[in-house]
């Protein structure tokens, strides 16, 4: 790269950050970080009727959660389009003064009628250029249009799609500034990218059709055109464009569910980009290997099962203290009382992380750590263990455990092994009964670990309660 890379992510705050936008942000961020360039965040809030402060806050929260830090952008002033209106105005005036743009006084009704007629013919509406040489006076209500070449072609040299050619016959003299003085979306994007010295425009495929219009505006302004990379869309399992119909698509919904951000980043990175067959990437590895040339041209299907698989991988990698912190936030958000002993909570998380993909799953699987089981489940399996023979065994087990000082998993296992040998039972008989008593379920983390984490007092209380239930006394 000859120059310092400056790449931007430019969300419109008309909704929450969805996975498609997050992947665009991630690819752009990775590209900038890989090239030791600058990552810029720009808020495209010119559509005032649909943009809200809440959506801006929510987009920033999602980016922060993913760890996509920006070098330039809010809260520094000047990175929101609504703060930049003077800049657009100055550029529009220059284009007009240089004869590269012209005033158009065509009445809206006339344009609407022409649009409807084109639609009826099954064609895209293109402005006729009626006012192009009319020298409309400044005091007549007017829009400002870009004068584009009547013939020829504009070629988009896309880093992902290669050469994409657009005939000028398919384009028209598009509006830069509306009659009410507001600049249009495509005009703002160009002026922003120029004035922010953007070298690489990385964005969704849905913007490819805007690109020839924007390139013509760069030419008119006399500025060099940046490099473009249009990333293919994310698809649902039915291969249509991913949308709410396919389930949660907002990044914060995945956060709420308790996916780990490193899993989300890893997953989104592999959605359309590859590096050999590698599936698991740390953030550092992604920065090292990311290359736009390895982004595919076809849309990538969102696969929740794979996200869960990756999330379980990153869960298993995470230290218990970190998971304790995340689990505590998850519980707090749901108004569930959080145990104050964080070291204990870290042990809990460590015991659950093997089988959990999300913090929600972790909490649900480990709910018995926080509250005594209200019932024993599933009844038909539990019934197999709640037999008259179980009563003396459990009573003996309780006696032995009461006498037991060391309550670590290994010590507990030796105790159990000694006891089953004496009673001529299999380890599983006593272990499963204990599991049901302590967790209320027939599946749990390793039971000696569970007993050790619950501690002697709670373990014994739950075993006694279970004994009473089997005896029919509770
Ligand atoms: N604001 C546009 C969007 O949210 C992105 C425009 C661009 O990246 O050029 O889709």
Please state the atom number of ligand 1 nearest to the C-alpha of residue 24. Answer: 8
How far does the centroid of ligand 1 lie from the alpha carbon of residue 12, in Å?
Answer: 6
Instruction: Give the pairing type, strands 175-177 and 143-146.
Output: antiparallel
Reduce the DSSP state of residue 68 to 3 states and report it. coil
Residues 349-378: tens digit of each pLDDT: 999 999 999 999 999 999 999 999 999 999
- Segments making up each domain of the chain, as ranges: 1-73+232-317, 94-177, 319-368, 379-471
Q: 2 falls in which pLDDT band (50, 70, 90)? A: low
Three-state DSSP class for residue 455: helix
Residues 5, 37 contacting (CB under 8 angstroms): yes
Whether the Cβ atoms of residue 80 and residue 46 lie closer than 8 Å to each other: no
In this structure, the residues whose C-beta lies within 6 A of any atom of ligand 1 are: 10-12, 44, 189, 201, 203, 207
Q: What is the pLDDT of residues 193-243, one digit of tens each?
A: 999 999 999 999 999 999 999 999 999 999 999 999 999 999 999 999 998
- Fold adopted by 319-368: Helicase, Ruva Protein; domain 3 (1.10.8)
Distance CA 29, CA 46 (A): 24
The one catalytic residue in 89, 130, 244, 294 is 244
For residue range 272-321, list pLDDT tens digits in order: 999 999 999 999 999 999 999 999 999 999 999 999 999 999 999 999 99
The residue whose CB lies within 8 Å of the most ligand 1 atoms, and thus the one to mutate among 7, 8, 11, 79, is: 11
The pair of three-digit structure tokens given for residue 293, joined into one six-digit string: 């040339």
> Selecting from 3.30.390.50, 3.30.420.40, 3.30.70.20, 1.10.10.350, what CATH number does the domain 379-471 have?
1.10.10.350
Specify the 3-state DSSP secondary structure of 95.
helix
- 130 CB-contact burial (10 Å; exposed 0-12 / middle 13-18 / buried 19+): middle
* CATH number for the domain running over 1-73+232-317: 3.40.50.620
Q: Tell me, yes or no, if 130 is annotated catalytic.
A: no
pLDDT, position 243: 87
β partners of residue 183:
177
Residues 100, 220: contact at Cβ < 8 Å? yes
Ligand 1 centroid – CA 164 distance (Å): 19
Instruction: Give the per-residue pLDDT at 245.
Output: 87
What is the pLDDT at residue 38? Answer: 98
Structurally, at CATH architecture level, domain 94-177 sits in Alpha-Beta Complex (3.90)
What number does the ligand 1 atom closest to the CA of 202 have?
A: 8
**For the whole model, what pTM was predicted?**
0.93
CB 16 within 8 A of CB 53: no
């Amino acid at each position: 790269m000859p120059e310092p890379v400056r790449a931007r992510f430019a969300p419109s705050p008309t909704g929450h950050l969805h996975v498609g936008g997050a992947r665009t942000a991630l690819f752009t961020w990775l590209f900038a970080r890989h090239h030791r360039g600058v990552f810029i965040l720009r808020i495209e809030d010119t559509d005032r009727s649909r943009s809200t402060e809440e959506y801006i806050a929510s987009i920033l929260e999602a980016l922060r959660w993913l760890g996509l830090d920006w070098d330039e952008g809010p809260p520094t002033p000047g990175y929101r389009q609504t703060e930049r209106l003077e800049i657009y105005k100055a550029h529009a005036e220059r284009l007009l003064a240089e004869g590269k743009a012209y005033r158009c006084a065509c009445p809206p009704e006339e344009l609407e009628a022409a649009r409807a007629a084109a639609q009826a013919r099954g064609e895209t509406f293109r402005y006729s250029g009626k006012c192009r040489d009319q020298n409309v006076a400044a005091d007549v209500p007017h829009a400002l249009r870009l004068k584009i070449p009547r013939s020829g072609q504009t070629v988009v040299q896309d880093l992902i799609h290669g050469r994409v050619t657009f005939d000028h016959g398919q384009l028209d003299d598009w509006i830069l500034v509306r009659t009410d003085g507001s600049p249009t979306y495509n005009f703002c994007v160009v002026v922003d990218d120029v004035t922010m010295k953007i070298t690489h425009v990385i964005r969704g495929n849905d913007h490819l059709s805007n690109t020839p219009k924007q390139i013509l505006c760069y030419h008119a302004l006399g500025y060099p055109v940046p490099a473009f990379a249009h990333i293919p869309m994310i698809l649902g399992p039915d291969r249509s464009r991913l949308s709410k119909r396919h389930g949660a698509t907002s990044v914060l919904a995945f956060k709420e569910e308790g996916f780990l951000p490193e899993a989300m980043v890893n997953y989104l990175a592999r959605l359309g980009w590859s590096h050999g067959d590698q599936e698991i990437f740390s953030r550092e590895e992604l920065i090292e290997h990311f290359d736009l040339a390895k982004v595919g041209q076809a849309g990538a299907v969102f696969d929740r099962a794979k996200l869960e698989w990756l999330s379980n991988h990153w869960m298993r990698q995470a230290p218990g203290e970190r998971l304790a912190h995340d689990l505590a936030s998850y519980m707090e958000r749901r108004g569930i009382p959080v145990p104050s002993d964080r070291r204990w909570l870290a042990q809990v998380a460590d015991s659950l992380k093997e089988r959990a993909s999300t913090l929600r799953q972790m909490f649900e699987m480990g709910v018995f750590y926080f509250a005594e089981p209200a019932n024993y489940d599933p009844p038909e399996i539990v019934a197999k263990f709640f037999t008259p023979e179980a009563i003396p065994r459990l009573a003996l087990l309780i006696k032995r455990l009461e006498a037991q000082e060391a309550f670590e998993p290994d010590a507990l296992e030796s105790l159990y092994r000694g006891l089953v040998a004496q009673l001529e039972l299999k380890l599983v008989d006593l272990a499963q009964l204990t599991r049901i008593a302590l967790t209320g379920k027939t599946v749990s983390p390793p039971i000696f670990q569970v007993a050790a984490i619950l501690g002697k007092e709670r373990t014994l209380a739950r075993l006694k309660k279970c004994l009473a239930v089997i005896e029919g006394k509770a």
